[in-house]
Amino acid sequence: MKGNEALAEAAIRSGCRHFFGYPITPQTEVAAYMAKRMPKIGGTYMQAESEVAAINMILGSASAGVRAMTSSSSPGISLKGEGISYIAGSDLPCLIINVQRGGPGLGGIQPSQADYWQATKATGHGDFQILVFAPSTVQEMVDTVADAYDMAEKYRMPAMILADGMLGQMMEPVVFEDKEYVPAEKPWATNGHGFKRERNVTNTLYLTPNELEKRVVDRFKRYEIVKENEPRVECLGTEDADIIVVAYGATSRIVKSAVKSAREQGIKAGVIRPITLWPFPDKAIAAAADTAKAFLCVEMSMGQMVDDVRLAVNGKKDVHFFGRTGGVIPTPAEVLEQIKKIAGGVK
């Protein structure tokens, strides 16, 4: 199944019945699939007049307590930024897909990871975070969707799956687990209740500074719990590795190929693959910084996640960076060359 279609099917199986989007390459198959399926299962599919409209429709449906999803690619996510900030400020759960392409501006349509900063640090204005998941296979994208919804509802915050053009466009075999979706209680939802309770309100406007500060501080207390409990990471061969390569998403697959070759050539290399980008698995990286000799961060960008790797390593070891950008995909050979270069230096 194609990555984009698999994402859409997984969302439907996780109880998503409201999809609002606007077409953009390379994620359009998500919307196309939803357009085909939603009418058949009593769901709502709407191609909005713009990304801004789509994300505000998500704000509305999330506020009513239903599982809603929107999907876009880099330039479209920028347009959604304002709405995402409102959703975060309203403490509402929803799922946003970003199938990244090269930027800035309209950029290109080939795979990229240049929206890491945007996803983890500045999706919109104001003090807030969203959950960011970075699957690396089509199967993992499928498995992530249900978790992303569950976690978004548990912590009442937006979740994003940060994919890229390669993951969206490629086909791989997938298995869908038969898990029935049981909607969670949402006492905060602004849905119809027949005057049986006090009305709920969705709001982000607080003109009294102390009141707004308290809301933000309370939200950040929740973020601390997320940071404590939810980071996810895959570590491969890190126990005895001299050089640890950190990469996420599609790039991590290329890195795994390179690290395998490095091992075959006698270089002790390992991989740390953050699966959640926020919360960032900084403890796993900090632990590895005690045993490894050097780090290499590989991204399809000019170096964005490398900032978080450096913060986690905290100056204990050198952190090198290698990246290709603009839609160019790094090759296993290029990564291997970097590993060899670093290995030459640390021996």
Partner 1 sequence: MATKNMLLAGFGGQGILFAAKVAAYAGLMEEKQVSWLPSYGPEMRGGTANCSVCISDEPIGSPLVLAPDILVVMNVQSFDKFIDTVVPGGTAIVDSSLIDKRTDRDDISVFYIDATKQANANGLAGLANIIMLGKMLGETAFTTEEMIEKALRKCVPASKQHLLEPNMKAIRLGMSL
- Indicate the residue among 144 and 169 with the shorter CB distance to partner 1: 169
- Indicate the residue among 287 and 329 with the shorter CB distance to partner 1: 329
Residue 25 CB, shortest distance to partner 1, in Å, is 6
- Indicate the residue among 109 and 216 with the shorter CB distance to partner 1: 109
- Indicate the residue among 102 and 158 with the shorter CB distance to partner 1: 102
Residue 264 CB, shortest distance to partner 1, in Å, is 13
- Indicate the residue among 1 and 243 with the shorter CB distance to partner 1: 1
Give the footprint of partner 1 on this chain (CB under 8 A).
25-26, 109-110, 137, 165-166, 169-173, 250, 253-254, 256-257, 260, 329, 331-332
Residue 257 CB, shortest distance to partner 1, in Å, is 3
158-164 vs 94-100, strand pairing mode: parallel
CA–CA gap between residue 216 and residue 213 (Å, rounded): 5
Residue 304 CB, shortest distance to partner 1, in Å, is 21
- Indicate the residue among 43 and 270 with the shorter CB distance to partner 1: 270
- Indicate the residue among 260 and 293 with the shorter CB distance to partner 1: 260
